[in-house]
Amino acid sequence: MDLWIKRDDLTGFAFGGNKGRKLEFILADALAHGADTVVSCGATQSNFIRQLGAAASVAGIECHAVLMDEPYEPGLRATVVGGLNTDGEHGNLLLDRLLGVRVSIVPNGPWETLFAETNLLADRLEADGRRVVRVPIGGSSPLGALAFVDAASELARERFDVVIVATSSGSTHAGLHVGFSGTGARVIGISCDPEPEVAEEVGCLARAAASELGIEPPNEEPDVRFDFVGPAYGVPSEEGQRALVRLARSEGIFLDPVYTAKAFAGLLALAERGGIAGRVLFWHTGGLPALFGYLPAIYHGTTS
Ligand SMILES: *Cc1c(COP(=O)(O)O)cnc(C)c1O
One-letter amino acid at 150 equals D
pLDDT at 303: 54
pLDDT at 47: 98
Q: Is 18 in the pocket of ligand 1 (CB under 6 A)?
A: yes
Which residue among 168, 200, 253 is best mutated to probe the pocket of ligand 1, counting the most ligand atoms within 8 A of its Cβ?
Answer: 168
Report the side by side order of strands in the sheet with 162-167: 2-7, 279-284, 162-167, 186-191, 223-225
* Among the ranges given (12-26, 28-42, 59-73, 187-201), the one the predictor scored with the smallest mean pLDDT: 59-73
Mean pLDDT of 69-94: 86
Q: Is the pLDDT of residue 304 over 60?
A: no
Task: Give the model confidence (pLDDT) of 225-258 as tens digits.
Answer: 999 999 999 999 999 999 999 999 999 999 999 9
pLDDT at 70: 81
CB neighbour burial string for 77-96, b if at least 16 within 10 angstroms, e if fewer: bebbeebbbeeebbbbbbbb
pLDDT at 67: 97
Q: Is 168 in the pocket of ligand 1 (CB under 6 A)?
A: yes
Percent of the chain with pLDDT over 70: 98
Contacts of 157 (CB under 8 A, 6+ apart): none
Q: Is the pLDDT of residue 296 over 90?
A: no
Q: Which atom of ligand 1 is nearest to the CA of 167?
A: 9
pLDDT at 139: 98
- Expressed in angstroms and rounded, the spacing between residue 40 Cα and the centre of ligand 1 is 15
Which residue among 9, 21, 47, 288 is best mutated to probe the pocket of ligand 1, counting the most ligand atoms within 8 A of its Cβ?
Answer: 47
- Expressed in angstroms and rounded, the spacing between residue 124 Cα and the centre of ligand 1 is 29
Is residue 46 flagged as an active site residue? Answer: yes
Mean pLDDT of 34-43: 98
Mean pLDDT of 193-215: 97
Contacts of 21 (CB under 8 A, 6+ apart): 8, 11, 147, 148, 150, 151
More confident residue, 266 or 70: 266
pLDDT at 301: 57
pLDDT at 86: 83
Contacts of 147 (CB under 8 A, 6+ apart): 21, 22, 24, 25, 171, 175
- Expressed in angstroms and rounded, the spacing between residue 31 Cα and the centre of ligand 1 is 24
pLDDT at 161: 98
Q: Which of 40, 46, 169, 191 is catalytic?
A: 46
Task: Give the model confidence (pLDDT) of 92-149 as tens digits.
Answer: 999 999 999 999 999 888 889 999 999 999 999 999 999 999 999 999 999 999 999 9
Report the Cα–Cα distance between both ends of the chain, in Å, rounded: 27
Is the dihedral angle over the CA atoms 115, 15, 103, 123 positive or is it negative? negative
Mean pLDDT of 290-304: 78
Q: Confidence band (pLDDT; 50, 70, 90) for 72?
A: confident
Rounded to 10 deg, the angle between the 142-153 and 171-179 helix axes is 40
Q: What kind and span of H or E run contains 199?
A: helix 197-213
- Expressed in angstroms and rounded, the spacing between residue 158 Cα and the centre of ligand 1 is 23
Give, in order, the Cα–Cα distances in Å from 207 to each of 48, 51, 147.
23, 26, 14
Residue 33 CB coordination number (10 Å): 10
pLDDT at 88: 81
Q: Is the pLDDT of residue 299 over 70?
A: yes
138: left (phi over 0), alpha (psi -120 to 50) or beta: left
pLDDT at 90: 94
Mean pLDDT of 4-16: 97
Percent of the chain with pLDDT over 90: 88
pLDDT at 109: 86
Q: Is 172 in the pocket of ligand 1 (CB under 6 A)?
A: yes
Residue whose CA is closest, atom 13 of ligand 1? 287
| Integer Cα distance of 247 and 265 in angstroms | 10
Closest C-alpha to 198, from 239, 166, 170, 158: 170
Mean pLDDT of 71-94: 87
pLDDT at 77: 84
